[in-house]
Amino acid sequence: MTAYGWRQVTQIGGLRRWCRRRHADLWTVEEVTVVSSRQRTPAQFLASIRNHWTIENQVHRPRDGSMQEDRLHGRAIGVILAVCRNVVINLIRRHLPGRYIPTARNAITTDLGIALRWMHLPLRN
């Protein structure tokens, strides 16, 4: 791997995922090469890959898909907007469990009383 300038690489693996979009019958296969600079057992290596996709599926996809982050971004205040989107997603998950985020977001925009009630709830862990 030093030929490519990757002096720190200790493990390389391949990952094959079968994906199907919601409301679609067609499955797609995606193959990814995973490169790591940490030495791990195969179980630890797989756990770290799963952990990565947990973050992707629970944080990044809702922010992009449900909150349309990629389409509605602000260059100068992008971090602040991301924090606001995270707060909204977490409030929806806590107080409207099981609701599809775009549907819940639409419910909140049509009934602002929901958001106002959330503002008066005590913070807890």
Three-state helix/strand/coil letters over 7-27: CCCCEEEEEEEEEECCCCCCE
Residue type, 85: R
pLDDT in tens, 2-13: 666 777 888 888
pLDDT at 58 over 60: yes
Residue type, 73: H
pLDDT at 71 over 80: no
* Rounded Cα distance, 87 and 101, in Å: 12
What confidence score (pLDDT) does residue 66 get? 67
pLDDT at 34 over 80: yes
* Rounded Cα distance, 26 and 21, in Å: 8
Helices (H), 1-125: 42-55, 61, 78-95, 101-110, 112-119
